Amino acid sequence: MIVVYTSPGCASCRKVKQWLKDRDIPYIEKNIFKTLLNENEIKHLLMRSENGSDDIISKRSKIIQESGVDIESMTTDELVHFIRQNPSVMKRPIIISENSFQVGYDEEEISVFVPRELRKIASGGCTEDCPNYAVCGNVRKECE
């Protein structure tokens, strides 16, 4: 299942949700301001990201800038507590599934969230002489 961590007023979050809806891909939305993330969720996000806190925390956030907090010197538990208390420091959207992890909306990379079975069907679809190729060909290019 795909989980999308969002916030209200986030244009990239709206793009991700619309992209998933347009492709009938089910997902769970978690508004980081309405749903307090538990410690295990935050640790899971940190473990799944390639660069740990650098991938999911915005160092330009107002809280970090004004307080002078040093994220790098925090222990994992301190960092998790800080994120729970200050969810606005998280980059958005964060999209996570069993096999994929993405921060932000990237039109080219988001296709990894199309289920493998659908990508396989799309790649074996019609050929250039098919009257629907204009549509199918674009779908295949998105999924590759």
User: Is 10 among the residues known to form the active site?
Assistant: yes
- Cα torsion 36, 91, 24, 41 to 10°: value is -40
Residue 17 and residue 25: Cα distance in Å, rounded?
A: 10
List, as one string, the DSSP characters of 66-110.
HHT--GGGS-HHHHHHHHHH-GGGB-S-EEE-SS-EEES--TTGG
Locate tokens 């999911």: which residue? 56
Distance separating alpha carbons of residues 84 and 100, to the nearest angstrom? 23
End-to-end CA distance of the chain: 21
What distance in Å separates the CA atoms of residue 83 and residue 86, rounded to the nearest whole number?
Answer: 5
Q: Looking at the annotation, which residues are catalytic?
A: 10
